[in-house]
Amino acid sequence: MPEIAVKVTKAEYVSDYVLKLTFSDGTVKNVDFLPLADRGVCVKLRDLNYFKNFTLDPYTVDWNNEIGFAPEFLYELEPPNLCVAEEAAKYSVN
């Protein structure tokens, strides 16, 4: 079996439908999953209690062995799935 290029090594609940994901290469992203919860089995993620009940499998974040996203997919996400506040902070002037 080929080695997966990047894995989710840590996941923390931030707020609403946002998880802070740490990847095996050290990259950290706040990912908003609400835009991903619009069809199929993923609509279950709209239930905040269900959403908060995530675990990590050996490669990525997982919900009850029903819903999981490839780590490469999560790694490559761009806004709007990246938290808007995180993106805005990159361009703030102090």
Q: 47, exposed or middle or buried, with CB in 10 Å at 0-12, 13-18, 19+?
A: exposed
- pTM score of the predicted model: 0.81
Assign 33 a pLDDT band (cuts: 50, 70, 90): very high
Assign 39 a pLDDT band (cuts: 50, 70, 90): confident
**CA 20 to CA 30: how far, in whole Å?**
4
Query: Is the model's pLDDT at 44 over the cut of 50?
Result: yes
**Going from the N-terminus, what domains does the chain have, and what CATH number goes with each?**
8-87 (3.30.2020)
Averaged pLDDT of the chain: 84
- 3-state secondary structure (DSSP) of residue 60: coil
Given a contact cutoff of 8 angstroms between Cβ atoms, the answer to whether 60 and 8 are in contact is yes
Within 10 angstroms of residue 86's Cβ, the number of other Cβ atoms is 17
